[in-house]
Chain A
Amino acid sequence: MSLENDVLDVKKLDIRGKVCPMTFIYTKLRLEEMKKDEILEVTLDFPAALESIPDSCKRQDLAETIEIKEFDGNKNTWLLILRKI
């Protein structure tokens, strides 16, 4: 982990190739191991999960969505940034 990640306390999860509901389940399992306010960067390529993961995280009081952006200029892959509640 880089110094920058240490400071920001950013965890990463790559769920490219996964589809719903496993996208949320892997995200949930990772969030359960994290402390409050830690940041999780989820890399994903299943578009429906851009809505379903934030929705489910909110409904289950797991995390709030900070940002959704394209991953590395790739139009079919995204970074979903979550903060553990």
Chain B
Amino acid sequence: MDLTEEQIHRYSRQIVLKEVGGIGQKKLLNSTVTVIGLGALGSPVAYYLTAAGIGNIRIVDFDTVEISNLHRQILHFTDDINKKKTKSASRKLQLLNPDCNIEIIEEMILPDNVKEIVKDSDFVIEGSDNFPTKMLINDACVSLKIPFSIAGVLRFHGQIMTVVPEKKTTCYRCLFGDVGDSPSGMSCSQAGVIGLVPGILGCMEANEAIKTILGIGELLTNKILFVDLKTNNFTFIDVYRAEDCLACGENAIDLVKTYDYGVENVCH
């Protein structure tokens, strides 16, 4: 596949980079990234991946746009209120870059469908708003050996890590264990969030996807980055695999089939 004249111009500012070139651009155009959640994290992710020319972008969300989403979910506009987020997002993404095939999945992520949704992805972006879904995506991606980035935000804070199952890096379950053991955290709706915090974390997730596809740089693996944008503190903490992790450890099992995530009962 040769790049068209239009593609050479559209992607010129990244083709010019040593790390990309025409070879890297073709890798991006031939790749598939699944973006789970089209909210505050998923919006900048989907936007930048589309702009970068990721050839196939699978966008997953079951929700509709509400007015209270708009201060942070930058793919959605005021006239999108009450529309499905997938429809709202795909309209903008198609306008941004007709090169990209935007595949819409208008479903809630559940144990029954998660593997079908993420399969064949070169990278998965986790941008959901709740802990059980994050854990479900972790378990499915670890099981299918798909690299993914997982992030969370609250108030002025954010955290992000990347997992590369093929390289046996620390997974989300290694850190947080059983969903049942974890403290029930507050969601953005209760605790609040400054809109640009997920913007920054989402951009970092998209960057992890691009670096993975290009095979360049360093990833946020075996470490977790905590960002405090009130104080501008960026803290990297090394994290380690749990030998007894049920998702990636020595005696791992297919959790997606058996584990009670309680995804259906989450307050969004």
Contacts and interface: CB of A to CB of B under 8 A. Distances in A.
Interface of A: 21-22, 24-26, 28-29, 32, 56, 59-61
A29 B15 contact: yes
Contacts of A25: 8, 12, 15-16
B8 A29 contact: yes
Interface string B12-33: 1101101001110000000000
12 contacts: A24-B16, A25-B15, A28-B21, A28-B22, A29-B3, A29-B8, A29-B15, A29-B22, A32-B21, A56-B16, A59-B18, A60-B18
B20 to A, nearest CB: 10
Contacts of B12: 21-22, 25
Among A24, A32, A56, A61, the most chain B Cβ lie within 10 Å of the Cβ of A32
Nearest to B9: A22
A52 B116 CA distance: 48
3 shortest interchain CB distances as A-B pairs: A60-B18, A29-B22, A32-B22
Nearest to A60: B18
A26 B18 contact: no
Given A32-B21, A32-B22, A32-B23, A26 B16 contact: no
Contacts of A59: 18
A31 to B, nearest CB: 9
Contacts of A21: 12-13, 16
Interface of B: 3, 8-9, 12-13, 15-16, 18, 21-23
A25 to B, nearest CB: 5
A22 B13 CA distance: 9
Nearest to A29: B22
A21 B22 CA distance: 14
B8 A26 contact: yes
Contacts of B8: 22, 25-26, 29
Contacts of A56: 16
Nearest to B15: A25
Contacts of A32: 21-23
A59 B21 CA distance: 13
A25 B3 CA distance: 12
A40 B65 CA distance: 54
Contacts of B18: 59-61
A42 to B, nearest CB: 16
A25 B21 CA distance: 8
Contacts of A29: 3, 8, 15, 21-22
A59 B18 CA distance: 9
A70 B171 CA distance: 60
A24 B22 CA distance: 12
